[in-house]
């Protein structure tokens, strides 16, 4: 059945297929970057809001996606849900290089799609979590090649936390959160030889805290 949730989910899924966040998709279509923000999906009176036909038309034109592709994404069978992980069993698992490709995350940093494997983890307590495998030596001495980090998209992020950061260009990296202001975020490297990064919040899709690592 057609619903507000399915139409908005289809927009999110189309953005992911093109390697974009919803705000990135809006920019590519020549729309205000906030057009597809969660706050725009609810009217002032609290009722669900439909995306305009004009914005949908611009999105299809900008991405080159046929209408049939978008209609298929509206179908629940065509859009894989975020993996449901029962407590005490497994976590969605992917290598860090694979996770930088399109279709692995929604706009809030939750794992979606069929590209995930699974890894055992005992006590999830119902929280959304996912696992990434470290590849290479770029994060020494904090993490070695082959280490696995467990990431919690919904966990509060505080100064000094090790975090996974996805930027609006689709890049994913690991940092230490040092400072966050109303406009910028300062990220420190995990390696002694790395450089401090200062980004506008508009350049950040999401930040998620690393809550556990196998070492």
The residue segments making up the domain with residue 100 are 90-214
In the chain, the number of structural domains is: 2
Residue 132: strand pairing partners: 94, 149
Q: Tens place of pLDDT for every residue, the chain, 215 residues?
A: 567 788 888 888 888 777 778 888 888 899 988 888 887 888 777 788 888 889 999 999 988 888 887 887 877 554 455 555 554 567 788 888 888 888 888 888 888 888 888 776 655 556 678 889 898 888 888 999 889 898 988 888 999 999 999 998 888 999 999 999 989 999 999 987 789 999 999 999 999 999 888 86
Whether 12 and 44 map to the same domain: the answer is yes
43: left (phi over 0), alpha (psi -120 to 50) or beta: beta
pTM of the model: 0.52
Whether 95 and 61 map to the same domain: the answer is no
Whether 110 and 140 map to the same domain: the answer is yes
CA–CA separation, 31 and 9 (whole Å): 18
Whether 180 and 139 map to the same domain: the answer is yes
Question: In sequence order, what are the residues at sequence separation of 6 or more whose Cβ sits closer than 8 angstroms to the Cβ of residue 46?
Answer: none
CATH code for the domain in which residue 65 is found = 1.10.260.40
Whether 17 and 119 map to the same domain: the answer is no
Task: Give the per-residue pLDDT at 204.
Answer: 93
Whether 18 and 70 map to the same domain: the answer is yes
Whether 66 and 94 map to the same domain: the answer is no
Task: Give the per-residue pLDDT at 1.
Answer: 56
Task: Give the per-residue pLDDT at 78.
Answer: 44
Whether 190 and 96 map to the same domain: the answer is yes
CB 187 within 8 A of CB 177: yes
CB 52 within 8 A of CB 20: no
Whether 44 and 104 map to the same domain: the answer is no
Within-domain flag for 60: yes
Whether 55 and 125 map to the same domain: the answer is no
Within-domain flag for 79: no
């Amino acid at each position: 059945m057609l619903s507000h949730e399915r139409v908005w989910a289809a927009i999110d899924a189309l953005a992911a297929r093109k390697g974009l966040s919803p705000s990135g998709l809006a920019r590519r279509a020549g729309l205000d970057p906030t057009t597809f923000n969660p706050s725009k999906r609810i009217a002032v009176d609290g009722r669900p809001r439909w995306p305009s036909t004009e914005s949908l038309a611009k999105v299809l034109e900008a991405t080159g996606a046929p209408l049939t592709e978008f209609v298929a994404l509206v179908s629940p069978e065509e859009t894989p849900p975020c993996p449901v992980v029962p407590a005490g069993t497994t976590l969605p698992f992917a290598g860090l290089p694979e996770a930088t490709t399109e279709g692995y995350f929604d706009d809030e940093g939750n794992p979606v799609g069929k590209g995930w494997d699974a890894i055992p983890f005992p006590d999830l307590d119902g929280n959304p979590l996912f696992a990434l495998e470290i590849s290479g030596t770029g994060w020494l001495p904090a993490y070695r090649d082959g280490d696995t980090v467990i990431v919690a998209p919904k966990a509060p992020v505080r100064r000094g936390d090790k975090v996974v950061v996805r930027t609006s260009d689709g890049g994913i990296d690991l940092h230490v959160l040092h400072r966050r202001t109303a406009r910028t975020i300062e990220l420190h490297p995990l390696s002694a030889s790395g450089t401090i990064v200062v980004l506008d919040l508009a350049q950040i899709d999401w930040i998620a805290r690393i809550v556990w690592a196998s070492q």
